[in-house]
Amino acid sequence: MLGLMQSQQLLISTLIDFAERHHGEGEVISRRVEGDIHRTNYKEVAARSRKVANALDGLNLAFSDRVATLAWNGYRHLELYFGVSGSGRVLHTLNPRLHPDQIVWIANHAEDQVLCFDMSFLPIVQAVHSRCTTIKHFIALCDADKLPADSGIPGLQSYEAWIGQQPATYTWPEFDENSASSMCYTSGTTGNPKAALYSHRSTILHAFSGALPDALNMSARDAVLPVVPMFHVNAWGLPYSAAMTGAKLVFPGPAMDGKSIFELIEAEKVSFAAGVPTVWQMMLGHMQAGGLRFSTLKRTVIGGSACPPAMITAFYDVYGVEVLHAWGMTEMSPLGTVCTLKNKHLAMDSADKMKVRLKQGRGIYGVDMKIVDGEGAELPWDGKAYGDLLVKGPWVISEYFKGEGGSPLVDGWFPTGDVATIDSDGFMQITDRSKDVIKSGGEWISSIDVENIAMAHPAVAMAACIGMKHPKWDERPIIAVVKKPGSEVTRDELIAFYDGKTAKWQVPDDVVFVEAIPLGGTGKMQKTKLRELLKDYKLPGA
């Protein structure tokens, strides 16, 4: 017997319809490439996304055709999120921080038909357009009068002219909720990048679960600042969950420096911000230097790489801001776990609470996890046993676009490539990427643990731990350190700083001071690049 409830497909168009009808006045604020602050609301965004849909129909794009973007976080990008997916096309967010050759490879692999780009990326588009063989239409996200006279890009149009003539009425098509809605290529540290292809259903379910109180706790009373880019895993789904809840959206555009982010938080009364640790590192540096305080920020979700304890402490103790440590992946849309405490943790003293908050958190409804040993046998949830982390759920990848790399699943579970523990309360803690774990004398050393201690030193701006070949121990950890401007610390002082904070054999053998740690397109440390940089390095005594 079937249930007797209305059957309605879970489509992305329903999000913007809802936001328009129930939160039409809900604000959408953007710092633009032009430098000014632009103000609009869900009602206008909805009308303009329908114009986008009409404009795409005008280009005769077929269902599931790919429309690419090279764009910062902003209202026009948001309109494309809804207009492209809502009309049945697939939004392909390209990462502008990739090498132009990679952008060409990805655009051709995705068979993008249209490319919409912010004017900051005009030089990239000028450099790559002739090699992007499937793109037929180039749209610059600007006013008609900002279009350069001779860009060299055939048929280049301005977004405002392109959608300007279109009607704001459009009937969103109804189709199977399992249809593809957007795609994002993984960073491809090994081999060519591979794409995760999200569906309308996976996107909506992810937005529902992501908005829950014990996840990101989104509401119509929030002003949300996604610093995490809309070109990387749909800004953690925030554009969708904001439309679902009517939260005010505040977009930083290209200005991601500490000063600009802080000023935007204050000016727009942001209550909730999301980003990778490096972004907050810059902002906290700016605030410390100027003795600044937040007046409205209540919580921040930090993920993408491990959040150093020093950062969590600074947010809580100095600024009174709650930190939600979160973990996920491109292949998981991306949310997997969020670290929100349970009742039993509230009575703990602050040192014990901190131990919990450092973990990447517990699975949100929809994501199941397990850890396994080298033979694939499930390990206990005791907070001690560590093994390969596998996940499954309705917004976890089943296979990559075009079947690239074969089936990624093992008995229906997706191997994340992370190594983790899970405690008896279900809190997962990443100890490493499996390829970054340091194997020393038959034991594993977590590079994250070694980095976290260095990051707590007041003179350290950033630290990356890698394993170096050792004749006796197989590998030994060393730590590459960027000093804070104007601060000093010696190798011996930093090694001594580990005293009493970790087991002796986990203390790095050496410290290498560097100007910068190589960061990838999504702000993650690129340890492969760091290893290349340090290829001539010799361990002391090795």
SS (H, E, C) 207-225: HHHHHCCCCCCCCCCCEEE
Closer residue to ligand AMP, CB minimum distance, 264 or 428: 428
Closer residue to ligand AMP, CB minimum distance, 30 or 522: 522
- Shortest distance, position 198 Cβ to ligand AMP, whole Å: 13
**Which of 295, 242, 292, 245 is closest to 268 using CA atoms?**
295
Binding site for ligand AMP (CB under 6 A): 186-187, 233, 303-306, 325-330, 334, 360, 416-418, 430, 433, 522
- Both tokens of residue 475? 């590998």
Examine residue 254 and say whether the peptide bond preceding it is cis (omega within 30 degrees of 0): no
- Shortest distance, position 307 Cβ to ligand AMP, whole Å: 6
The residue count for the chain: 542
> Catalytic one among 444, 483, 502, 524?
444
> Catalytic one among 20, 331, 451, 475?
331
Per residue in 20-56, is it b (16+ CB within 10 Å) or e — as a string?
beebeebebbbbbbeeeeeebbbbbbbbbbbbbbbbb
Spell out the residues 6+ positions from residue 492 whose beta carbon is closer than 8 angstroms to its own.
none
- Shortest distance, position 179 Cβ to ligand AMP, whole Å: 23
Cβ pair 476, 450 in contact under 8 A? no
Per residue in 425-438, is it b (16+ CB within 10 Å) or e — as a string?
eebbbbbbbeebbb
**Which of 329, 313, 310, 257 is closest to 462 using CA atoms?**
310
- Shortest distance, position 212 Cβ to ligand AMP, whole Å: 18
Q: Whose CB is nearest to ligand AMP?
A: 330
Q: Name 93's bridge partners.
A: 69
- Shortest distance, position 186 Cβ to ligand AMP, whole Å: 5
Closer residue to ligand AMP, CB minimum distance, 125 or 356: 356
Rounded Cα distance between 73 and 264, Å, is: 13
451 part of the active site: no
72 part of the active site: no
Closer residue to ligand AMP, CB minimum distance, 305 or 421: 305
Closer residue to ligand AMP, CB minimum distance, 238 or 306: 306
> Catalytic one among 439, 469, 501, 538?
439
- Shortest distance, position 331 Cβ to ligand AMP, whole Å: 6
CA 463 vs CA 12, 153, 355, 515: distances in Å = 40, 42, 20, 11
Q: Is 26 helix (H, G, I), strand (E, B) or coil?
A: coil
> Catalytic one among 44, 136, 186, 298?
186
444 part of the active site: yes
Closer residue to ligand AMP, CB minimum distance, 253 or 303: 303
- Shortest distance, position 402 Cβ to ligand AMP, whole Å: 18
Closer residue to ligand AMP, CB minimum distance, 186 or 526: 186
In 197-316, alpha helices (H) = 200-211, 233-236, 238-245, 258-267, 277-290, 309-313
DSSP state of 490: -
Catalytically active residues, by annotation: 186, 331, 439, 444
